[in-house]
């Protein structure tokens, strides 16, 4: 660890040297995109999948400026979204779970707050709830990311102009001793414009009042649905990004942070296909900013990073050797989250057997139990045995040997669902080592004015330090 810090100190000094010579000029329109759990394996997996299936790669991978950022927290090598969000937002390392405070508990100022102080409009967007760690790192100050109600209340002290995307984990302040009421009610009382339907969203026009724009349909209770599960009634992260530009464009410029928060969730669950669709949805949102930048070429900066890697994803598996078959993931047409209740019905039915699961596995994941042996989606005997074992364990019937550990094998997830995802993913030539985050550095990409400053090996705190110099008053 000590060595790592010394290494990082070296980077920091190099960066400081760079700035001492030449402080970057302010940029009118600044976008910061954060993919939660988005590191190189997630980007490369999606790139290859998309090249094969759609004949084109990701915009974020094609940008001229590409660098790396280390992600470690103040108190441990593997960070979380709170510590990493704080580093990216405020430019200081902190402890895992902490938001907007340094490791000594001192209050920090985020790049969004600096932008606001300099007369810019500010928008905070996320596909997950707005009190979640990453968006919260831009406006909240709390030693526990779990205090979501108190965190949400800080939205009203932020002075920011737009919060958009998911809802709130604890909008009613349940189990909070001195709760001040429902967050949406408070927003209305304070004069905020609140949109909760697609029609209200489409009707939003630029206004001097602060705006709270929430997804018309929730998944997981409080976030926008997974891209793989979306229908025409939904608003995508790209829709929210386009609306943010429409609402916030003004002579003094803006700072907009957009988080793709659910890449992380599906990497925790080791669901590669859903992850791929989340990364594509995130890339689509970046494309909106990129198209805007074409119209404002000398006035726009877009920075894209991740807060950490999740899942220990790797593009290679012992069973597939040197080959990759990422196109096999296109047969999965549902997220783990939406499949769960479908599977649960069979799991809970005492009369049901493994045979009742088979049609679901084929319908939603494309894996076949019968047919031509040359069909690459046909399950091998070994894979069928794995699925049967997972099903038994899922129903509490399977035995574990002394050396086996449920949490190592399945994390907190259902044994059958994890086995099913692992079987499909391994067939595609990919594998996972964890249900948690890892310490892998992330890729940081940039496009537009001052983009070249981000094209090196740096620390996640450098992103905020650099951006703070660019959200100053326009000359």
Question: Which parts of this chain interact with Zn ion (CB under 5 A)?
Answer: 36, 81, 264, 307
Shorter beta-carbon distance to Zn ion: residue 65 or 84: 84
Shorter beta-carbon distance to Zn ion: residue 72 or 343: 72
**Smallest distance, Zn ion to C-beta of residue 133, A:** 7
**Smallest distance, Zn ion to C-beta of residue 307, A:** 4
164: phi then psi, degrees, rounded to nearest 5: -145, 150
**Smallest distance, Zn ion to C-beta of residue 145, A:** 10
**Tokens, residue 395:** 């129903």
Shorter beta-carbon distance to Zn ion: residue 307 or 383: 307
Distance, CA of 258 to CA of 360 (rounded, Å): 35
**Smallest distance, Zn ion to C-beta of residue 359, A:** 36
**Smallest distance, Zn ion to C-beta of residue 121, A:** 26
Q: Residue by residue, what is the 3-state secondary structure of 245-314?
A: HHHHCCCCCEEEEEEECHHHHHHHCCCHHHHHHHHHHHHHHHHHHHHHHHHCCCCEEEEEEECCEECCCE
Q: Is 136 exposed, middle or buried (0-12, 13-18, 19+ CB in 10 A)?
A: buried
Neighbours of 385 (CB within 10 A): 11
Distance, CA of 55 to CA of 49 (rounded, Å): 9
**Smallest distance, Zn ion to C-beta of residue 434, A:** 14
Shorter beta-carbon distance to Zn ion: residue 264 or 459: 264
Sign of CA dihedral 34, 38, 44, 45: negative
Is the Cβ–Cβ distance between 324 and 51 less than 8 Å?
Answer: no
Shorter beta-carbon distance to Zn ion: residue 126 or 300: 126
Distance, CA of 97 to CA of 76 (rounded, Å): 11
**Tokens, residue 2:** 């000590």
**Smallest distance, Zn ion to C-beta of residue 82, A:** 8
**Smallest distance, Zn ion to C-beta of residue 456, A:** 23
Shorter beta-carbon distance to Zn ion: residue 309 or 414: 309
**Tokens, residue 313:** 């994803």
Shorter beta-carbon distance to Zn ion: residue 125 or 428: 125
Is the Cβ–Cβ distance between 36 and 134 less than 8 Å?
Answer: yes
Distance, CA of 312 to CA of 309 (rounded, Å): 7
**Smallest distance, Zn ion to C-beta of residue 465, A:** 20
Residues in the chain: 475
Q: Is 456 exposed, middle or buried (0-12, 13-18, 19+ CB in 10 A)?
A: middle
Shorter beta-carbon distance to Zn ion: residue 81 or 444: 81
Shorter beta-carbon distance to Zn ion: residue 268 or 328: 268
**Smallest distance, Zn ion to C-beta of residue 81, A:** 3
Q: Residue by residue, what is the 3-state secondary structure of 429-443?
A: CCECCCCCEECCCEE
Measured from each CB, the residue nearest to Zn ion is 81
Distance, CA of 239 to CA of 195 (rounded, Å): 14
Shorter beta-carbon distance to Zn ion: residue 126 or 450: 126
């Amino acid at each position: 660890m000590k060595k790592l810090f010394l290494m990082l100190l070296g980077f920091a000094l190099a960066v400081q040297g760079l700035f001492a010579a030449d402080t970057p000029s302010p940029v009118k329109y600044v976008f910061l995109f954060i993919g939660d759990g988005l590191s190189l394996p997630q980007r490369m997996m999606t790139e290859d999948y998309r090249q094969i299936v759609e004949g084109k790669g990701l915009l974020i991978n094609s940008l001229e400026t590409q660098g790396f950022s280390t992600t470690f927290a103040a108190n441990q090598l593997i960070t979380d979204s709170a510590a990493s969000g704080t580093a990216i937002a405020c430019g200081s390392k902190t402890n895992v779970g902490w938001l907007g405070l340094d490791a000594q508990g001192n209050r920090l100022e985020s790049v969004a707050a600096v932008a606001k102080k300099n007369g810019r409009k500010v928008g905070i967007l996320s596909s997950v709830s707005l009190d979640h760690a990453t968006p919260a790192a831009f406006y909240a100050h709390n030693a526990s990311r779990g205090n979501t109600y108190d965190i949400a209340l800080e939205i009203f002290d932020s002075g920011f102009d737009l919060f958009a995307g998911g809802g709130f984990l604890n909008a009613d302040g349940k189990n909070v001793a001195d709760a001040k009421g429902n967050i949406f009610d408070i927003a209305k009382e304070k004069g905020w414009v609140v949109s909760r339907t697609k029609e209200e969203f489409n009707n939003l026009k630029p206004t001097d009042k602060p705006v709270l724009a929430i997804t018309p349909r929730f998944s997981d209770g409080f976030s926008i649905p997974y891209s793989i599960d979306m229908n025409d009634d939904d608003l995508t992260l790209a829709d929210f990004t386009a609306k943010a530009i429409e609402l916030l464009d003004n002579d003094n410029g803006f700072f907009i942070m957009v988080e793709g928060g659910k890449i992380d969730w599906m990497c925790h669950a080791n669901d590669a296909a859903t992850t791929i669709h989340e990364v594509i949805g995130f890339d689509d949102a970046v494309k909106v900013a990129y198209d805007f930048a074409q119209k404002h070429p000398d006035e726009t900066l877009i920075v894209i990073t991740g807060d950490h890697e999740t899942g220990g994803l790797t593009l290679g598996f012992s069973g597939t050797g040197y080959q990759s078959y990422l196109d096999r993931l296109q047969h999965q047409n549902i997220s783990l989250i939406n499949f769960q209740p479908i599977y649960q019905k069979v799991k809970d039915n005492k009369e049901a057997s493994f045979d009742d699961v088979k049609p679901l596995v084929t319908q939603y994941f494309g894996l076949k139990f019968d047919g031509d042996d040359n069909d690459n989606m046909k399950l091998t005997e070994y894979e069928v045995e794995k699925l049967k074992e997972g099903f038994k364990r899922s129903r509490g019937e399977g035995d574990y040997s002394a050396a086996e550990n449920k949490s190592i094998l399945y994390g907190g997830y259902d044994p059958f669902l994890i086995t099913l995802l692992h079987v499909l993913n391994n067939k595609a030539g990919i594998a996972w080592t964890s249900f948690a985050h890892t310490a892998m550095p992330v890729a940081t990409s940039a496009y537009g004015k001052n983009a070249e400053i981000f094209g090196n090996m740096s620390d996640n705190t450098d992103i905020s330090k650099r951006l703070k110099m660019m959200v100053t008053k326009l000359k």
